[in-house]
Amino acid sequence: MECPHLNSSVCTSIDYSGFPNGSPSSWCCSVCRSNKSPWVCLTCLSVHCGRYVNGHAKKHYEDSQSPAAGGQKRCDKQQSQHLVCMDCISYSTFCYRCDDFVVNDTRLGQVQKVREHLQSLENAPLTADRTLKRKLLESSSPNSKLLKDNGGASTLCATGLRNLGNTCFMNAILQSLRSLVEEFRKTLCSLWQGNPTAFSPDSLFYVVWKIMPSFRGYQQQDAHEFMRYLLDHLHRELQGNRNGAKTPAAPQNGSSTVVTSIFGGVLQNEVNCLVCGTESRKYDPFLDLSLDIPSQFRHKRTKDQEPGPTCTLLDCLRSFTDLEELDETEFYMCHKCKKKQKSTKKFWVQKLPKVLCLHLKRFHWTSYLRNKVDTYVEFPLRDLDMRGYLLEPENSLRGGCLYDLAAVVVHHGSGVGSGHYTAYGRQEGRWYHFNDSTVTPTEEETVVKAKAYILFYTERNDTASSEMDTKL
């Protein structure tokens, strides 16, 4: 939320020498000496523990608002201070008067300055050996689970993201985008610095709150919806359209951006009237394809039943592109017959994107509930051939239709409003599992067993079609 108290509560001339020694995440409460959940007051820079420890940060605020000794009422200026504090671990800002997290800043940008200073203090011990942490031993096995630096300590060339409160949907998407696109990698370059301390994406999260009101708060959200909102807003920002007006999410009339040049493809929607045979064609831009899991694979089997055939990603793609007859609620308005008629519909891919994002529709409405389809869908790690779904496959080179897997988003749990999101991502031939703050190397055998929710495939370079790993 936009807090109106920052300018009066946040100290305009912060003396950083007043901060305790050591890393902010390990600072101790000045009252109980607990180092769990430290918060720093942005008025006086005193450190206290959070409300779920002993609550001394809140008590510090309450004491500042109570009458002074001798029964004298505090002046307005005193009552407007000590309202705002910052979490020394996630660097999120909270106002006790508003009783909510804060997304704005003072006129002088003091909140961001404090945040950056705390981050620099936290990362100071890591700066000296950061280069060593990212250097791999040439003798390391490609299947090695941990990367060794010259000092022999086990470390990872990846960084986790702190969960700010049911923000795993955002973390999973950001880690997947990091695995995919150079432009996103530059923006989120800190995710591959190999810091053992998880990076906190609170600044980005608060920007998301500003531009995407539906994602405000700390309830669980849908990762696919967040990805689409993020890409659409990024597309509009890159176009220079900051007034919120909706623009097409695919290049039209020279409106292409880095988003559409990477994720943008084109579908041909072909509808045929079954009465007069009139054919209608429409071209639809897309940033991702949402695929149904065919109904024959959705049935849950009991322990006594024999296992049925395994659903594959190709089954989902065929279901998406197969010819289908529209039901009565979707009858096509035939311009020749001048009325709605029975018709068939078929999708063709006219243009493939560089990054093919495939969303498996695991959540379906039944009556008043949104249930999850928990069916395992088999997917290839490499050599996904999209040539058979093209409108004009003869005009496409085979190498330009082959895709290799770069990232997978997985939903764990039973409902869209609950559960947990994690992601698998590939970097320099190695696979990693991203579970918020925790990053662990993993094997291909583990990745292919995941019940994927979103799959990201990268187009194979013609010049490097023999390579298994496409560098982004």
User: Does the pLDDT value for residue 16 go beyond 60?
Assistant: yes
Is the pLDDT confidence value at 207 over 70?
A: no
Q: Please name the residue that has the structure tokens 């394809």.
A: 289
Q: Cα-flanking dihedrals φ and ψ of residue 375, to 5°?
A: -65, 135
- pLDDT tier at 289, thresholds 50, 70, 90: very high
Q: Quote the pLDDT of residue 467.
A: 40
**Is a pLDDT exceeding 50 seen at residue 363?**
yes
Whether 378 shows a pLDDT value over 90: the answer reads yes
Predicted local confidence at residue 153, as pLDDT:
40
Residue 315 reports pLDDT greater than 80: yes
pLDDT for the residue 164: 67
Pairing status of strand 377-378 against strand 311-312 = parallel
77 phi and psi, to 5 degrees?
-65, -40
The first and second tokens of residue 28, run together, are: 């101790």
Amino acid letter at 210?
K
CA-wise closest residue to 90 among 108, 80, 81, 102? 102
What domains sit in the chain, N to C, each tagged with a CATH number? 6-122 (3.30.40.10), 133-238 (no CATH)
Mean pLDDT value of segment 30-51 = 90
Give mean pLDDT, residues 155-159. 63
For the whole model, what pTM was predicted?
0.58
pLDDT above 80: residue 410: yes
Residue 168 is among the residues annotated as catalytic for this protein: yes
Instruction: For residue 420, indicate whether it is catalytic.
Output: yes
Residue 378, by phi and psi: left (phi above 0), alpha (psi -120 to 50) or beta? Answer: beta
> Does the structure show a pLDDT above 90 at 455?
yes
Q: How confident is the model at residue 463 (pLDDT cuts 50, 70, 90)?
A: very low
Going by the DSSP 8-state scheme, the letter that residue 463 receives in this structure is G
Contact 260, 249 (CB under 8 A): yes
Quick: pLDDT tens for 72-121.
444 445 556 889 999 888 788 888 888 887 878 888 888 888 888 888 88
**DSSP element (H, E) containing 177:** helix 168-178
Q: 3, 168, 316, 334: which is the annotated catalytic residue?
A: 168
Q: In this predicted structure, what is the pLDDT of residue 26? A: 86
